[in-house]
Structure formats: C-alpha cells, structure tokens
Structure 1
Amino acid sequence: MASLSDTAEDRALNWLTGNSTTAPTLPLKVALVTANGTDSTAGTEVTGGSYTRQNITFAASSGGTAANATDVTFTGLPAATIVGIELWDSAGTPIRWWHAPLTANRTTQAGDELRLAAGDVDLTIT
C-alpha cells in the first residue's frame, strides 16, 4: 500500500479544510527506488542506463482506492535491485506525493525492462 509523504499529507489536509487549493502539477511521474524512503525522506532513486521517471495516470477512485489506468514501462534499466516506487509531480521543483515498497523486490540486469501493469499501483487514503 502506498503512503502519502508528509508534504502531501499537509497539502491534503489544507485542501480539505479550505486552507489551500494546491494540487499536484501533472503529469504525475513514477520513480523507481533501490532503498525505500519514509514519509519525510525520499528513497534512493535508480540511476544509470536509460532510466527516467515515467508518466502515470490513474482511473477515478472507487471505494477509496485509485489504481493506475495504463501500463507504465521503464526501458534500458541499469543492473539494480528495485525495492519500491515513489510518485512525484512535474513542478519546476518536483514534489514527492506518495511512496511504497514493492510487494517483491525486482532485480534487473543492464538493458532490462520493468513494467507496472495497469491496476498494479493502488493508492488508498485510510
């Protein structure tokens, strides 16, 4: 399950209480990490190969959960052990909104592809 970052929690609470209209700058981007972060600290992002953050879109929430609407594919990855993902916006100085460990680590070799299938990334506010 994905967790909101401290920044996202503050922004959501400020929006819900009418103290802000701030929303993420779209598109949202998925980052792969080799060490998971916390609510207050970003994880260690993958570097090397042709790795870049990828756009992700979400279907409308239902029952308190929103899931990615389409596959997200990373190509040309470096050799790495990927342990989690983070969701960032596209602001001039990007803001990290969510973070989550993978259900199972994924080991890649140089040049590999990693796909997050539609519905694999679930966001829930509890």
Structure 2
Amino acid sequence: MAQASNWLEEAMLNYFFRNQSVAQPTAVYLALYINDPTDADTGTEVNGGGYTRQQTTFGAPVQTGDKGVISNNQKVEFPIATADWGSISHWGIRSALTGGNLLCRGTFSKVENVQSGNRFTIETGSLQITME
C-alpha cells in the first residue's frame, strides 16, 4: 500500500478545496530507497553506480472494495548496477527524473540487496497505488 507524501496531500487539498492550481508532472518516475523516504521526503535514495530513476506509467484506476487502485502497466527495468546499491526496501514515485517532489511512497514486500552486475526490475502490475 502506498502512502501520499506531505507535498501530495497539500497539493490535493489546495486543488480541490481552495481552488488553487497544481502543476501536473508530464511524467512520473520510480525511485528506489534503502530506507523509508517518509511523508516528509527525508529518506535515502540510491545514488551512483549507474542508478537513475525510471519513468513509470500506470493503467486506469479500478475499484477494489472501497479502494481505488492503479498498477504499473509495463515492466520497470533499472540499469545494471555498476556498483553496489545496497538493500532496497522502499520505493517512491517522484515528479521528475532528478529533484522534483515525492508524490507517494511504499515498501517492497521483500528487501533486495542490489550488487554490482545486478538489475532491479518490477514486473507489470506489481507496483500498486491505492486510495480510499
């Protein structure tokens, strides 16, 4: 289950209840973390060793019980690590390839230690974001 960041929570409240415009990102990117990025965007993102955020697209929302759910509609493949990335435990969806805002975050069901020569991938439909 994903959690909205402080930035996204405030943007949604401002947009829907205060009639303020919010810049929509032209694309969203999956970032990998070695710890919890937190709602305040204070986590440690993987850095170096060939790492770069990956553009990610999602299918249309579906209602599952009382929740709206979107899932990645393509396999997400990170570059082959040229150095050890560490133990990847969390993910974040960000508004830009570099910098930008954290939109939401989540925890992987299994921590994966990415070493030099490995490729981190997420299969189609495996990354889900829910709202209730």
TM-score between the two structures when normalised by the length of structure 1? 0.91
Give the equivalent residue in structure 2 for 1:51: 51
Give the equivalent residue in structure 1 for 2:72: 68
Q: How many corresponding residue pairs?
A: 126
- CA pair 69-47 structure 1, distance change in 2 beyond 3 A: same
Give the equivalent residue in structure 1 for 2:87: 81
Question: Which range moves more in the overlay, 60-69 or 20-29?
Answer: 20-29
* CA contact 1:75–1:111 (8 Å) conserved in 2: no
Question: Which range moves more in the overlay, 11-20 or 31-40?
Answer: 11-20
Structure 1: state its 5+ residue gaps: none
Q: Does 1:115 align with 2:103?
A: no
* CA contact 1:42–1:96 (8 Å) conserved in 2: no
TM-score between the two structures when normalised by the length of structure 2? 0.87
Give the equivalent residue in structure 2 for 1:94: 100
- 1:116 and 1:91 map into 2 onto residues whose CA distance is 18
* CA contact 2:54–2:76 (8 Å) conserved in 1: yes
Of all paired residues, the percent bearing the same amino acid is 27
Letter in 2 for 1:120: S
Letter in 2 for 1:121: L
Give the equivalent residue in structure 1 for 2:33: 33
- CA pair 54-91 structure 1, distance change in 2 beyond 3 A: closer
Pairwise CA distance, 1:35: 1.1
Structure 2: state its 5+ residue gaps: none
- 2:17 and 2:120 map into 1 onto residues whose CA distance is 39
Pairwise CA distance, 1:117: 0.9
Q: Aligned to 1:76, what secondary structure does the other structure show?
A: coil
Give the equivalent residue in structure 2 for 1:42: 42
Pairwise CA distance, 1:23: 4.3
Question: Which range moves more in the overlay, 3-12 or 87-96?
Answer: 87-96
RMSD: 1.7
